[in-house]
Amino acid sequence: MPYDEALADRMRDVLRRHPGVMERKMFGGLSFLVNGNMACGVAGETVVVRVGPAAYSAALAETHCRECDFTGRPLKGMVMIEPKGCASEGDLRAWVERGYGFASSLPAK
């Protein structure tokens, strides 16, 4: 599935000022990694964010957020945000920063 390049560019704008970020095509979309750990990405028009196990339930309770399920089995600690949930720059920035914050807390790979 192709990913939304404009959405990927918006995410790049948020991550541009952070060190250790690289891009990799994964899950049929584009992922942003921090020191080798996935932080967030875009699949189609949906934002994928790694929030971690401790923040997983709280994230799922938020509007426009659902389990990340690429294979028929949810990936615990990762969520998908529908386009309406990241339409504003502030909402997108908040999700991307959450993913960056979690990934940067992990040991580098």
- Ordered per-residue pLDDT tens for the chain, 109 residues: 589 999 999 999 999 999 999 999 987 899 999 999 999 999 999 999 999 999 999 999 999 999 998 788 888 999 999 999 999 999 999 999 999 999 999 999 8
Task: Report whether 103 contacts 36 (CB < 8 A).
Answer: no
Q: Which domain holds residue 63?
A: 5-104
Q: Model pTM?
A: 0.94
Q: What is the CATH number of the domain that holds 9?
A: 3.90.1150.30
Smallest CA-to-CA distance from 25 within 12, 13, 43 is with: 43
Number of domains in the chain: 1
Query: Quick one: tokens of 47?
Result: 């934002």
